[in-house]
Chains A and B, each alone.
Chain A
């Protein structure tokens, strides 16, 4: 169904933006894709629609802006309701589990991954690597609990946690190559390896995940920009 008043302000490289697009694809909602250049000064639209954080993604529905990717996902799930593509489970306890693990990805796993990308010293990188690998093992356990033997965290279909973690797969691969390690390894996390393949190949996902070489190139530029900004504040 074509929606003329649905817009995503974001960038192809951002995993948080990818989350929103995957959710919209799952719900078969068409949207306008507005690209923000992360390496350039922030646009007027971004500053006006997200004055609090000035960050992408910003989701627009009938001119109402919504910020923070996991909040956007829940909004999308509540507005476009078809049981076939439900992002969060209907049972309150299962919903709380999904929210817990998505929060774990955002509050623990992603910051460690980011520290691994921008780590300035060997020591920083070593510590971050240990955290990231430790995190994947915790998530392997979570997968066992939530999937109940099925292909995804959400069971038969991709859900909230799949989208939260799966959106990071491109960056996980890029950062892994940079460190010359497989961050999601067959040895420590065999189920996650399999899940990653299933997720990446899913209809709603495959056109959203970026080309890894393009992302690696962007990653170098982003890292340089962040380190330069950090140097200026010290």
Chain B
């Protein structure tokens, strides 16, 4: 049966990157459609009427919304190649917990680092480092959060690495100085084709952030 897979996406979105990586890991051919978020397509509004957000995965005409739900869906449908979630229920629960933690913390705290100044930014930087250190602790001595191979938490988290340079420049700090093991993990992930092809260039992301700052009137 011919499988039709479409991904509605926006190049700097860490959430879109997750689905890109998952699809690449499974070797799935798909049509990538770039959205202009200031002028959302009729297809996007039709496929995600509730949130009107990207990414949207459309499989044989049926939409799946929310990036982590998409990654689980991709893992379940194309289950015979590169499994992302472990099969043991307790390990699965642990993986879901940490992916959910990334969801709850990184985007919001990271956002405050580039959107604020002064004391608010100092607080955001401190929180971000605390969050990253906790994740670094969870990684431990494993090559990946998924163990010997890229797993669910790796896919959930690695996209944010493409934003690190921009955050460091905006906040005038070094993430590597605080979390060297995490950066080592990130570089290890970047050696995988599925990840390298899915993440944008960090300078490009920084330029995008500068544009956003101008647009929102943040110095």
Contact = CB atoms under 8 A, between A and B. Distances in A.
Q: Does A pair with B?
A: yes
Nearest to B92: A78
Interface string A88-101: 00001101100110
A67 interface: yes
Chain B contact patch, size range: 20 to 34
B100 interface: yes
B66 A100 contact: yes
Nearest to B100: A68
A79 B89 contact: yes
Interface of A: 52, 61, 64, 66-68, 71-72, 74-75, 78-79, 92-93, 95-96, 99-100, 103-104, 138
Contacts of A71: 93, 96-97, 100
Nearest to A104: B50
B76 A95 contact: yes
A180 to B, nearest CB: 29
A74 B96 contact: yes
Contacts of B76: 92, 95
Question: Nearest 4 pairs between A and B by C-beta?
Answer: A92-B76, A78-B89, A75-B93, A96-B73
B72 A96 contact: yes
A18 B59 CA distance: 35
Interface string B54-83: 000001001011100110110011000000
B90 interface: yes
Contacts of A96: 64, 69-70, 72-73
A99 B69 contact: yes
Given A92-B73, A92-B77, A95-B76, A75 B101 contact: no
B186 to A, nearest CB: 21
Which of B62, B69, B100 has the largest count of A CB atoms less than 10 A from its CB?
B69
Interface string B40-51: 000000000010
A52 B134 contact: yes
Interface string B122-150: 00000000000010000000000000000
Contacts of B70: 96
Contacts of B72: 95-96, 99
A103 B134 CA distance: 24
Interface of B: 50, 59, 62, 64-66, 69-70, 72-73, 76-77, 89-90, 92-93, 96-97, 100-101, 134
Contacts, number: 52
Which of A52, A75, A96, A138 has the largest count of B CB atoms less than 10 A from its CB?
A96
Contacts of B93: 66, 71-72, 74-75
Nearest to A59: B93
Contact of A138 (B50, B89, B92, B100): B50
A103 B66 contact: yes
A100 B64 CA distance: 8
B90 A66 contact: yes
Contacts of B66: 99-100, 103
A67 B69 contact: no
Given A95-B76, A99-B72, A103-B69, A75 B97 contact: no
Contact of A100 (B59, B69, B89): B69
Contact of B65 (A92, A95, A100): A100
A77 B144 CA distance: 27
A98 B173 CA distance: 41
Given A75-B92, A92-B73, A93-B73, 8 more contacts: A66-B90, A71-B96, A78-B89, A79-B89, A95-B73, A99-B69, A103-B66, A103-B69
Nearest to B75: A92
A74 B93 CA distance: 8
A67 B73 contact: no
A92 B76 CA distance: 6
Contacts of A99: 66, 69, 72
